[in-house]
Amino acid sequence: MSALVQSIVSGLLLGGIYAVMAVGLDIIYGVLDLVHMAFGDFVMLAMYTSFFFYTLFGLNEFLILFVVPLLFLILGIPLYYGIFKFMIGKPHSFHIFYTASLSIALEAAALIFWTSIPRRMGVPYAQEAIELGSIILNKALIIAFILAVIITILVFIFLFKTDLGTLIRAAISNRDLIEMIGIDPHKVYLLAFCLGMSLIGVGGVLLAYYYPVSPTVGLAYTTYMWIAIVIGGPGSIVGSIVGSCIIGLSQTVSALYFPVALQNVFMLFIFIIVLNVKPKGLFGSR
C-alpha cells in the first residue's frame, strides 16, 4: 500500500515539473498554431545550459533558475524572427517536417559539442532523501516540484490578471480576433513564443536538478509534452497541467507492477483511450 502511495506522490511530483513545460508548449501551440516537434531539444539545450552554468561558472542552482529562463527569453526573439515566423499560417504537416529537421540538427549539434556522455548537474542534495511518514522522496525532486508549482502559479497570475496575459488567452481562444481589434498579431506571437521559451528554460533547469542530460533526451520530452497537452486538451492551460500529472502518474505507477522500461507503453495506452473517448482532450474545446 505504501509503495502505491509512494509512487503516486512521486508521479505527481514529476507531473508538476512536466506541467511547467506543458504550459509553455500549450501557449506556443495555442497562440501561434505551431506544431513544435523540436520542443524537447530546446529542453535538452536548457538542461545543458544549466549544467554548464552550475559546473563551469559555479552559479547557485536557484540563481540559475533566473538566468537560464531569461537567456531563453532573449534567445526567443532572434529564433522567432529567424526560424519560426515564416511557418505561421502554413499547414501543420509543413511545421512537423520543418521542426523535425531542426530537431535532428540540434541533436547533432549537441552531440558534436558535448559528446554523448550523460552529464549530471550534481546538486548537493540530489542524493538525499526526505521521509514523510511511510514514504521516502528525493530532496532534489521535491525542491524542483515546489519551484515548479510557484512558477506555474506565477504564470497563472500573469495569464489571468494582467493585460498581456489576457491578450494571450484571447489569442488562444480566437486568433483572428486579435487582428480584428487592431493589434499586430506578430507582437502577440512573439510574446507567446518568448514566454514559451522561458518556460522551456525553467523546465530544463528543474529537470537538470535530478535527471542526467545527453543529446538524445529531447525526443522523449517532445513526446511526453505533446501527449500531455493532447490528453488535457490543446488550448486549455488547466488541461495541460492535468495532462502532465497523468503522464507523471502513468510513468511511476506502471513501474510498480511492470518493468520500468515499459512505462511509456502505458502512457501510449492512456493516450489512445483518451483520444478515442474524448478526441478533443479532457478539457479541450477546440
Positions that interact with other proteins (CB under 8 A): 35, 86, 90, 92-94, 96-98, 100-109, 111-112, 215, 219, 223, 226-227, 230, 259, 261-262, 264-265, 267-268, 271-272, 275-276, 279
Q: Which is nearer to other proteins, 6 or 264 (CB)?
A: 264
| Strand spans (E) along 46-186 | 129-132, 135-138
Q: Least distance to other proteins from the beta carbon of 247, Å? A: 12
10 in Cβ contact with 210 (< 8 Å): no
Sign of CA dihedral 61, 47, 42, 266: negative
Q: Least distance to other proteins from the beta carbon of 78, Å? A: 16
Q: Which is nearer to other proteins, 61 or 107 (CB)?
A: 107
Q: Crossing angle, helix 237-257 and helix 2-32, to 10 degrees?
A: 150
Q: Which is nearer to other proteins, 95 or 193 (CB)?
A: 95
Q: Least distance to other proteins from the beta carbon of 104, Å? A: 4
249, three cell numbers? 502518474
The DSSP secondary-structure symbol of 130 reads E
Find residue 138's DSSP bridge partners. 129
Residue 196 corresponds to which amino acid?
G
Q: Which is nearer to other proteins, 193 or 226 (CB)?
A: 226
Q: Which is nearer to other proteins, 231 or 245 (CB)?
A: 231
Integer Cα distance of 9 and 108 in angstroms: 36
Q: Least distance to other proteins from the beta carbon of 62, Å? A: 33
Question: Dihedral, CA atoms, 122, 127, 132, 136, nearest 10 degrees?
Answer: 120
Q: Least distance to other proteins from the beta carbon of 43, Å? A: 17
Q: Which is nearer to other proteins, 29 or 53 (CB)?
A: 29
Q: Least distance to other proteins from the beta carbon of 91, Å? A: 9
286 in Cβ contact with 52 (< 8 Å): no
13, three cell numbers? 511530483
Q: Crossing angle, helix 237-257 and helix 217-232, to 10 degrees?
A: 120
